[in-house]
Amino acid sequence: MDQKYLRSFGRVKGHKLSDNQESLISDFLPKIRPDLEKISLPIWFEIGFGAGEHIIQLINERSGNISIIGCEPYINGSVKAIKYIYENSIENVYIYNGDARELIEKLPDGSLERLFILFPDPWPKKRHFKRRIINKPMIELCRSKLTEDGIITIATDHIGYSEWINDILSGSNYKHKLLETTHECQEEGIFTRYCSKALTRGDKINLFQLKR
């Protein structure tokens, strides 16, 4: 990883993978890593897709010749999406198991139609705030890659991170909503297991939608 970036994600591997999962990582993942010179535009991009629920939802909802890129360093999560892509022979979907910022920098300007950052690690301790993936340089970088009608969607259940994001986006063309029910989150297309856990705890979901 480029040393100019502080790591913004946690562990990269959990429990031992099965032989089939190891095979997917070693044999199939290299075939679906994004080659930006060959990818069709526009692009839908998800940073930190966890266990893959949302990126699979995007795969099933897209229309037209749209490419999807998912970035997830946590192997035990990304392998579930990789398996889905493999078993269903999905085309124009790519997985990158490194730092998303490295890839976004290389995207052509005006190539991102949708960008999702759902429930990123809040790094709640003050000394770790610098590791938060959402900061002014990151937002400006992402905005520069949006199409004219492109949208960045961010969701968090962490109050402190929500306040941080509000400050980062101040002065930008964005909307902020509070979601309190499963139905509302499903309507906004951001319902994941992290979302479900937060709602079960009684937490509200802060949704941010940022335009170019």
User: Whole-number mean pLDDT of the chain?
Assistant: 90
Q: How far is residue 84's CA from residue 54's CA, in Å, rounded to a whole number?
A: 12
- In this model, does residue 3 exceed pLDDT 60? no
Q: Of 12-16, 189-193, 205-209, which one has max mean pLDDT?
A: 205-209
Provide mean pLDDT across the span 153-165.
Answer: 97
Active-site pick, 2, 19, 35, 121: 121
* Residue 177 counted as domain residue: no
Q: Report pLDDT digits (tens) over 18-30.
A: 899 999 999 999 9
Instruction: Tell me the pLDDT tens digit for each residue of 104-132.
Output: 999 999 999 999 999 999 999 999 899 89
pLDDT digits (tens, 9 = 90+) for 36-57: 988 999 999 999 988 788 999 9
Q: What is the pLDDT of residue 1?
A: 42
27 counts as catalytic:
no
Residue 140 reports pLDDT greater than 70: yes
Residue 96 covered by a domain: yes
Instruction: Categorize the per-residue pLDDT at 17 as very low, low, confident or very high, splitting at 50, 70 and 90.
Output: confident
155 and 186 in contact (C-beta within 8 Å)? no
Q: Please state the φ and ψ torsions of residue 186, each to the nearest 5 degrees.
A: -65, -40
Task: Count how many domains the chain has.
Answer: 1
Q: In which band, very low, low, confident or very high, does the pLDDT at 5 lie, cut at 50, 70 and 90?
A: low
Q: Is residue 209 part of a domain?
A: no
> What pLDDT shows up at residue 2?
45
- Residue 29 falls within a domain, yes or no? yes
Question: Which CATH number does the domain housing residue 71 bear?
Answer: 3.40.50.150
79 falls within a domain: yes
CA dihedral 61, 133, 195, 16 (to 10 degrees): 90
- Is pTM beyond 0.85? Reply is yes
The answer as to whether 131 is a domain residue is no
Per the domain annotation, does 180 fall within a domain?
A: no
Question: Which residue, among 163, 203, 209, has the nearest Cα to 180 in the 3D structure?
Answer: 203
Q: The tokens of 159 are what?
A: 């109050």
pLDDT digits (tens, 9 = 90+) for 162-197: 999 999 999 898 999 999 999 999 999 999 989 999
Q: Which domain holds residue 80?
A: 13-108
Domain-embedded: residue 97? yes
Give the tens place of pLDDT for each residue, 76-108. Answer: 878 989 999 999 999 999 999 888 999 999 999
